[in-house]
Amino acid sequence: MCLIPANACAGTELVGAHEDALGTVVDFVLDTSTGAVTYVVVASGGFMGIGEERYALPWDYVRPLHGAKGLRWHCAAAQLPHQYRLASATALPQTGPPQDSAGTIAG
């Protein structure tokens, strides 16, 4: 087991499956009933906070990079999936991750 403080990840880069930069980790969302991390919140795009979008990505599809140098998103896409975009910088997801018709997490 390797433990990493959450504040060590905040401000680090989120990369895709092919090492492409997708955004910056800004926060984590916890499930209050279990205490587990449910989402990682990532800021992407924009310049100095203007025009950036925030995404709440399901924790099940994010993995730490070696040495707490950032996180890796499982998807090979060059952009973050629109269904995970938050309505505003202060919004939080109100439900679990989007699921497809088979009940698996979409993305």
pLDDT of residue 76: 67
What HEC string does 12-34 produce?
CEEECCCCCEEEEEEEEEECCCC
pLDDT of 93 reads: 65
* Tokens found for residue 76: 């090979």
pLDDT in tens, 41-91: 998 887 776 788 888 999 988 888 876 578 888 876 667 777 888 877 666
Q: Considering only CA atoms, which of 19, 38, 13 is closest in space to residue 76?
A: 19
Q: Is the pLDDT of residue 102 over 50?
A: no
**Per-residue pLDDT tens for 47-59?**
776 788 888 999 9
